[in-house]
Chain A
Amino acid sequence: ETGVTQSPTHLIKTRGQQVTLRCSSQSGHNTVSWYQQALGQGPQFIFQYYREEENGRGNFPPRFSGLQFPNYSSELNVNALELDDSALYLCASSFTGRTSEQYFGPGTRLTVT
């Protein structure tokens, strides 16, 4: 069974640029959630994708957008990067269901300069 994978592991971008982060879900999982974890804080829910549709969104502006593909992998896109976007971005996959547990990937460390 393959776990959740994310790419790239590290990324450095300049303010105003755009970035795309990728996530492959664990085998058998059909739901992907994205979280942002700033240094020294707990992860914050960005959004979730199920059946290629956004299935809930946290308190993040529209410049954070996402996609889910038929193979359940997902992308997180951030436009017009700001310094505060520097964080660890975590992807979690799960199988939809009331007791479903989320399994987290290794994360992508984004630094905006």
Chain B
Amino acid sequence: ELKVEQNPLFLSMQEGKNYTIYCNYSTTSDRLYWYRQDPGKSLESLFVLLSNGAVKQEGRLMASLDTKARLSTLHITAAVHDLSATYFCAVDPTTGTASKLTFGTGTRLQVTL
């Protein structure tokens, strides 16, 4: 059974600081997704990583994928309050043509002034 673990589960950081969220998974996959969720809301797609060594950046967020280590990271640079949300990674282990995602536990990020 595929397991996806994120750490930390909760992260309180000051504005302007940098930090990394880690996503480890237990089975081979080269498809990994990062989502953001605000309280009571749905999931917003942040990044789609589809190959070993993939790196994508959007604003203050950068995601990478190492399929050999079964590890993805979401790096936050110079955090701002608007980044406060819960972040999920999701892995698609299927070899077929349609994605079936297994989500991590989520990392709740709180950015303080």
Contacts and interface: CB of A to CB of B under 8 A. Distances in A.
Nearest to B94: A56
Interface stretch (A14-22, A61-69, A73-81, A96-104): A96-104
Given A41-B106, A42-B104, A42-B105, A103 B45 contact: yes
Contact of B42 (A50, A56, A99, A104): A104
A1 B98 CA distance: 22
Interface in B54-106: 88, 90, 94, 97-106
**SS class, residues of chain B in contact with chain A:** loop
Interface in B8-61: 31, 33, 35, 40-45, 48, 50
Interface of B: 4, 31, 33, 35, 40-45, 48, 50, 88, 90, 94, 97-106
A103 B94 CA distance: 18
B98 A90 contact: no
Contacts of B45: 101-104
A48 B98 contact: yes
A56 to B, nearest CB: 5
Contacts of B94: 56
Given A33-B100, A96-B97, A101-B48, 17 more contacts: A33-B99, A35-B101, A41-B105, A42-B103, A43-B101, A48-B98, A48-B100, A96-B98, A97-B98, A101-B33, A102-B101, A103-B45, A104-B45, A105-B42, A106-B42, A107-B42, A109-B40
Contacts of A96: 97-98
Contacts of B48: 99, 101
Contacts of B104: 42
A50 B33 CA distance: 21
Given A99-B31, A101-B33, A101-B48, A43 B43 contact: yes
